[in-house]
Amino acid sequence: MIYVLNGPNLNRLGTREPDIYGKTTYQDLVDMCLSVAEDLGVTVQVEQTNAEHQMIEWLHRAVDEGADVVLNPAAWTHYNIAIRDACALLRGKLVEVHISNIHQREEWRHHSVISAVATGVIAGLGIDGYRLALEHICR
């Protein structure tokens, strides 16, 4: 099992700032992840939440299962120590994914508290970053 976990506002893909995030909907993202997983012969669970406690519970489940995680922490990237600490517990791979290039955006978005505990980081490649993350985990 690979968990694909998405943080706040990603459920609004397709309508939220399409000039930054594109017109791809959240359902398109889910469908793509499921299709890629099928091609790779793995099982994924794709989730999205706007609630910090829910994200932490999913990360704890991944810890308990020794599962790999693809994580788009969204706004939590820049300040959420509780989510960072849950990520630090992971025994499997953790790939941090961002649809936009956070380094080309506002200065406060340039730093991630998650990156230091991640296996790798993919930013700025749109939802294709999720495909690359899943492929990396499966290698």
Point out the annotated binding site for substrate.
Answer: 72, 78, 85, 99-100, 109
Torsion of CA 117, 61, 54, 50, to 10 degrees: 60
53 is catalytic: no
Q: Is 94 helix (H, G, I), strand (E, B) or coil?
A: strand
How many residues in the chain? 139
110 is catalytic: no
Helices (H), the chain: 18-21, 26-40, 52-65, 81-88, 128-138
Work out the angle at residue 86's Cα, subtended by the Cα atoms of residues 100 and 29, and round it to the nearest 5 degrees: 35
Active-site entry in 3, 21, 26, 130: 21
Active-site entry in 98, 103, 111, 130: 98
Place of tokens 């998405």: 6
Which residue ranges are tagged as binding site?
72, 78, 85, 99-100, 109
Residues annotated as catalytic (active site), given as ranges: 21, 98
